[in-house]
Amino acid sequence: MNKWILIILVLFGLFILAGLISLLLFDGKKVGIGNGIAIISISGVISTNGNGESFLMGDLGASSTIIVQQIKDVEDDPYVKGIIFEIDSPGGTVVASQEIADAVKSLDKPNYAVIREVGASGGYWVASSTDKIIASPMSITGSIGVLGSYLQFNQLFEKYGIEYERFIGGKYKDLGSPYKETTNEERELLQKKINVIHEYFIKEVAQNRKIDVSKIREIATGEFYLGSEAKEFGLIDEFGNRETAVELMKKELNITEADVFEVRREIGFFELFGGLVSYNFGRGFASQISKIDLENRFKISI
């Protein structure tokens, strides 16, 4: 058999396989008559451009873009009577965490958070935006703090005779550059920005949890708390897991039966096929090289 015909047949077979997998595993819509309780997963580091969970690539973090759309979908679906956010996240970027938290607060349907292993920092911000938080006594929660950091290479450059030439328009254009020593003035400026974000985070949690802001400020040291400690501070409401949350929600909805289903990211036919053929080849080459400078600069996360 001609090798080109064989190659075409193999690719066609992969194309059909990708379509079948897409239909079986990645249809995130649930159609039915009755009482649906939707489970939305927030797993991994939260960012605006994460890709969520992929059949081919595993857990690539929690994308605020995807999660916000999922929230809108279940809000608009009359079949869904309540939403449970299953959280296992150490936090992430400030904007992405806020986008999800704001979308949660806009819900008109009962919504709970279940913290599994970790619901800290940005993950806790999202959890605090729900109506009720359920966690294990041993879950890691809280960590109401802000982190700004970057590596500094200027002394290494000096050792090997490498010089950093500055051509900037604007005094602080290269603020947070790893290639030069940070001045005291720059440190003070960066710290002020961190403080502003921290205070905003504190006020959001206080408002969400209906706790006096001064009390939240006392425990907002960035320290993480076990679920057993968090309950004493009022950071969570109940001990338990997904099943606990489902039973509590059924009670609130005054129903005895519910169809509990997971909302998944919908992956299109061509997107899945493209990933199957080329993901491992293309990932991390030109796209990663272009990010090197940005990733080494000062980064803020919660």
Q: According to the 3-state scheme, what is the secondary structure of 243-268?
A: HHHHHHHHHHHCCCCCEEEEECCCCC
- Alpha carbon separation from 143 to 140, 193, 213, 222 (Å, rounded): 9, 18, 16, 4
CB within 8 Å of 249: residues ≥ 6 apart: 37, 82, 84, 110, 112, 258
Q: 3-14: b or e for each residue (b if 16 or more CB lie within 10 Å)?
A: eeeeeeeeeeee
Looking at residue 135, what DSSP letter applies? E
Compute the half-sphere exposure of residue 74: CA atoms within 13 Å on the CB side of its CA.
32
Residue 251 known to be catalytic? no
Q: Which amino acid is at 7?
A: I
Annotated active-site residue in 173, 203, 215, 291: 173
CA 15 centroid distance within chain: 31
**Is position 121 annotated as part of the catalytic site?**
yes
Spatial contact of 88 and 118, defined as CB atoms under 8 Å apart: yes
The residues near 28 (Cβ < 8 Å, ≥ 6 apart) are 70, 73, 263, 264, 265, 266
Give the CA angle between residues 255, 261, 267 to the nearest 5°.
Answer: 150
With contact defined as beta carbons under 8 Å apart, do 144 and 218 qualify? no
Per annotation, catalytic residue among 22, 41, 97, 121: 121
Catalytic residues: 121, 173
